[in-house]
A and B are shown apart, each in its own frame.
Chain A
Amino acid sequence: MLENYAPLLILLSLALGFTVSQVVLSEVAGRRRKNVGKGEAYECGMEPVGGARIRLSIHFYLVAVLFILFDVESVFLVLWAVAAEGFKEQGLALFVFGEIALFVFILGLALAYVWRKGGLEWDR
């Protein structure tokens, strides 16, 4: 079982060896010049603007969490979609569709509640 992973191990050691040797070689053999441009962070060739650790507005938190919630709840749609073929063969397609429609309706009710309570407004 484990010997199947032997090529992976070889690849890994080759990659590791190459990278480390390059870094060490350039460190040992290379010439060094220091200037301001070299010390700066690389940002798509542009001059960097501000630090990377800027603070995001807390308003985004609510939208992000709501997104995650609805995003993950819709995982049940995937389950339904995967199983739908089997249900069709059993002649249960309509019944199961009704069930998933009810599920989506409940999700919709939750979305309507969030909307009504102002959870979707960006600048508030």
Chain B
Amino acid sequence: MNPDIAQRILSQATLDASGPFLALALGVLVLVFLELLPALAALRQIVFLGSLAAAAWAATRTLFGPEIAAFEGTYVANSTTSWWALLFVASALIAWIFGRRYYRDEARFEGEHDILLLTAASGMVLMAGSRDLLVFFVGLETLSVPLYALSGFRRARRESVEAGLKYFVLGAFAAAIYLMGAALLYAGTGTIALAGFQERSELLETPLALTGLALIAASLFFKISVFPFHLWVPDVYQGAPSPVTTFMATGTKAAAFAFLLPLSFALPPESAGLVAAIALITMAAGNLGALVQTDMKRLLAYSGVAHAGTMLLALAGMHADPESGGASQAVLFYMAAYTFTAGGAFGLLTMLETQGGRPVTIDGLRGLARQRPGVAAALALFMLSLGGIPATGGFLGKYLVFSVAVRADMIAAAVVGVLISVVALGYYLRIIVAMYMQPEDATRPVPAESRPLSSAMALACAAMVLVLGVLPGWFLANVR
């Protein structure tokens, strides 16, 4: 045995770097093993939560340390990737807790549901840490394939299965575009490592490599759902089971951004204007689409499109931003605030849908404040944060993103962006008005039922939104 190479592969540093991913992957294997033995089914929840906890613990170990490169530099762990990993764990936990007792017809497949959820989370961690086109592709598919199955998880419901098929067809399309882009980039530069692109940056200017980059950017834009690749979002978010929507809305977007940020150095600086234009169009398309919706999940789906556009604005300003790492910090903070805000909002909708037995519409929320003041207050807080009202995490995220654009001398784009964001307040406030100022529909009572776990999770999300909004100093000092 050659000790040098073996040590390089199996060192403590490698274990530290891949810890979060290993914890989740091991959790998946143990869960599959538990499926073999029905007698041990009671252990499932412990294993699931234990795996998430282990991943979070492993991520905190590299939170403040220097960057560790593992597997010949194809995978890294640094402060940023560790924050992303924590975010993915939080996203999976939110989706899982709100998903308890959601599935009635599919209750016997709950084990599979948890396995798929955990697999997707491990894929996200892999995506965030990858510094190589192949490792990213493996992560992307590890995330996407379970999500196709999860979207169609409510097998008896036509809209769920159709959402699964739609998500699959478009997801496979995006994967094929990504792969073609990777192939052209490899043909143009001879390497697939991000570090290799940096070394041979002159080769990135060749038509072959530029086409490849454009294709990869297009496939990532599909995953973060920006214009013109956002049309699938409302259908899929509405049709998919609500816990899965919660996970998709928060986790998938974050994972794609986590890789787009380190990759974006390869984009030519001239593309900044185009990316900014796409960002603004996306914000407009998302917000205008949301204005006319009545179904809450669909409305939040459009709102998610608008938020993706906002974050893309930070990416557009990245090149010209004099403060290095400013865009990365802005997107990470924005995404953290969005994860807890949208996670909480989708989660509460999941809860109301489970209790009411039907999809939640804006009219269905009328009079909620009187019947269930706690739920209404939390939902109102989430709406305010999504709208970017000061003292919430959402406001600070928007502030950070727009200041990146201003620093990068894209003042016109920032002003237009702020104006479009104001339009968004229209539909967020409509929901609050429905909950607080409109009489309830006597024929459609909202059944009250105590759900301690979901309530605690909603409370935790609300607390995080407020903490990120009121006391962001610690995060801003430590998130880089």
Direct contact of A and B (CB under 8 A): yes
Chain A interface (Cβ < 8 Å from any Cβ of B):
90-92, 94-95, 106, 109-110, 112-113, 116-117
B402 to chain A, nearest CB (A): 47
A94 to chain B: which residues have CB within 8 Å?
1
A113 contacts B35, C-beta separation under 8 Å: yes
Q: Contacts A116-B35, A116-B36 given: A109-B2 contact, CB under 8 Å?
A: no
> Which residue of chain B lies nearest to A91 when distances are taken between CB atoms in the complex?
B2
Q: Contacts A112-B36, A113-B36 given: A92-B1 contact, CB under 8 Å?
A: yes
A106 contacts B29, C-beta separation under 8 Å: yes
B156 to chain A: which residues have CB within 8 Å?
none
> Knowing that A90-B2, A113-B35 are A-B contacts, what are 15 other residue pairs whose CB atoms are under 8 Å apart, sorted by A's residue number?
A90-B5, A91-B1, A91-B2, A91-B5, A92-B5, A92-B6, A95-B1, A95-B10, A106-B29, A109-B29, A109-B33, A110-B32, A116-B35, A116-B36, A117-B35
Main secondary structure of the interface of A (DSSP, over half): helix
B10 to chain A: which residues have CB within 8 Å?
95
A90 to chain B: which residues have CB within 8 Å?
2, 5
B6 to chain A: which residues have CB within 8 Å?
92, 95
B2 to chain A: which residues have CB within 8 Å?
90-92
A105 to chain B, nearest CB (A): 9
Within 8 A of A (CB), among B1-42: 1-2, 5-6, 9-10, 29, 32-33, 35-36
CA gap between A109 and B37 in the complex, in Å: 12
Interchain Cβ contacts under 8 Å between A and B, 26 examples: A90-B2, A90-B5, A91-B1, A91-B2, A91-B5, A92-B1, A92-B2, A92-B5, A92-B6, A94-B1, A95-B1, A95-B6, A95-B9, A95-B10, A106-B29, A109-B29, A109-B32, A109-B33, A110-B32, A112-B36, A113-B32, A113-B35, A113-B36, A116-B35, A116-B36, A117-B35
> Which residue of chain B lies nearest to A109 when distances are taken between CB atoms in the complex?
B32
CA gap between A46 and B369 in the complex, in Å: 79
CA gap between A94 and B3 in the complex, in Å: 12
> Which residue of chain B lies nearest to A117 when distances are taken between CB atoms in the complex?
B35
B75 to chain A, nearest CB (A): 16
B9 to chain A: which residues have CB within 8 Å?
95
A95 to chain B: which residues have CB within 8 Å?
1, 6, 9-10
Number of interface residues of B (CB under 8 A): 11
> Which residue of chain A lies nearest to B35 when distances are taken between CB atoms in the complex?
A113
Chain B interface (Cβ < 8 Å from any Cβ of A):
1-2, 5-6, 9-10, 29, 32-33, 35-36
A117 to chain B: which residues have CB within 8 Å?
35
CA gap between A100 and B401 in the complex, in Å: 46
Closest 3 CB pairs of A and B: A91-B2, A116-B36, A95-B6
A112 to chain B: which residues have CB within 8 Å?
36
CA gap between A109 and B1 in the complex, in Å: 29
CA gap between A92 and B1 in the complex, in Å: 5
A91 to chain B: which residues have CB within 8 Å?
1-2, 5
A109 to chain B: which residues have CB within 8 Å?
29, 32-33
A62 to chain B, nearest CB (A): 15
CA gap between A18 and B478 in the complex, in Å: 79
CA gap between A14 and B33 in the complex, in Å: 62
A32 to chain B, nearest CB (A): 51
B29 to chain A: which residues have CB within 8 Å?
106, 109
CA gap between A91 and B1 in the complex, in Å: 4
CA gap between A86 and B33 in the complex, in Å: 34
CA gap between A113 and B109 in the complex, in Å: 13
B1 to chain A: which residues have CB within 8 Å?
91-92, 94-95
CA gap between A112 and B2 in the complex, in Å: 35
B43 to chain A, nearest CB (A): 16
B129 to chain A, nearest CB (A): 20
CA gap between A99 and B10 in the complex, in Å: 11
B106 to chain A, nearest CB (A): 15
CA gap between A113 and B29 in the complex, in Å: 11
B373 to chain A, nearest CB (A): 45
CA gap between A112 and B29 in the complex, in Å: 12
CA gap between A106 and B5 in the complex, in Å: 25
A70 to chain B, nearest CB (A): 15
B5 to chain A: which residues have CB within 8 Å?
90-92
CA gap between A68 and B29 in the complex, in Å: 22
CA gap between A50 and B37 in the complex, in Å: 46
CA gap between A110 and B32 in the complex, in Å: 8
B33 to chain A: which residues have CB within 8 Å?
109
> Which residue of chain A lies nearest to B10 when distances are taken between CB atoms in the complex?
A95
A92 to chain B: which residues have CB within 8 Å?
1-2, 5-6
B6 to chain A, nearest CB (A): 5
CA gap between A92 and B36 in the complex, in Å: 34
CA gap between A95 and B4 in the complex, in Å: 12
A99 to chain B, nearest CB (A): 9
B273 to chain A, nearest CB (A): 43
B32 to chain A: which residues have CB within 8 Å?
109-110, 113
A41 to chain B, nearest CB (A): 37
A107 to chain B, nearest CB (A): 12
A106 to chain B: which residues have CB within 8 Å?
29
CA gap between A1 and B155 in the complex, in Å: 56
